Amino acid sequence: MKLTLPYSVSALPFGLAFGAAAGALMSPAEAGLMSALVFAGAAQFAVLSMWTAPLPLAALVITAFLVNARHIVMGATLHPYFAPLPRRWVLAIAGGMTDAGWAITLQTMMRGSRDLGVLLGTIIMQWPVWVGGTVIGAVIGSSGLEPKRWGLDVLIAGVFMTSVVGLYRGRSDILPGIAAAAGTAAALLWLPGNWYILIGGLAGGLAGLVQRDE
């Protein structure tokens, strides 16, 4: 929980920005319920532009999946550390994993810990901040909290990038990193929607697999 405190503070303006944007489409209670149940900032922002009546449920589900598809790869990196633990606990807690929570947990695991409580601690710190920020932002409903106007749309990317720096282990990480960046850039240029997230993650994972087998 102490390790997550700086990230929790940085998540507050992001929650306020989402609440302000969502407040134009739904009530503060509905926005807060959405953040409480979904707990995925990037995906929630992505579906706001599609929030019309009647709701395009299939499109919403597909978009949310693509935006969060990176968690498939991220979760796989934690599997070797959590494999010996009871699966019912791992699955229950993994549902609340965030980008920052993953980075903090992986860094801790790489230092020798095998405590699922590390991931749980990140959720305990981040979830109330995200939900509370959403509700406050929706109540305020101020246009001054527009994400792009204040640069809040890049906040999650900045937090994630600075977190990844601490995961660098040496030259073996260079090829997967290049492959992930190339796959992401190519998909971003040539494919519609959010496919670049999944393509980049798969490219980096495949490069790491090939490198390990050589």
pLDDT of residue 152: 59
Please list, in sequence order, all residues whose beta carbon lies within 8 angstroms of the beta carbon of residue 20, skipping any fewer than 6 positions away.
Answer: 137, 138, 140, 141, 142, 143, 145, 146
Segments in the chain below pLDDT 50:
none
Asked whether the beta carbons of 208 and 176 are under 8 A apart, the reply is yes
Give which of 73, 117, 81, 79 is closest to 99, Cα–Cα: 73
pLDDT of residue 15: 86
Alpha-carbon gap, residue 71 to 92, rounded angstroms: 15
Angle value at C-alpha 180, between 62 and 210, nearest 5 degrees: 110
pLDDT of residue 124: 94
pLDDT of residue 34: 94
pLDDT of residue 20: 84
pLDDT of residue 157: 62
pTM above 0.75, yes or no: no
pLDDT of residue 209: 77
Angle value at C-alpha 13, between 11 and 17, nearest 5 degrees: 115
What residue ranges do the domains of the chain occupy? 5-167, 169-214
Angle value at C-alpha 64, between 73 and 99, nearest 5 degrees: 45
Give which of 159, 202, 141, 170 is closest to 41, Cα–Cα: 159
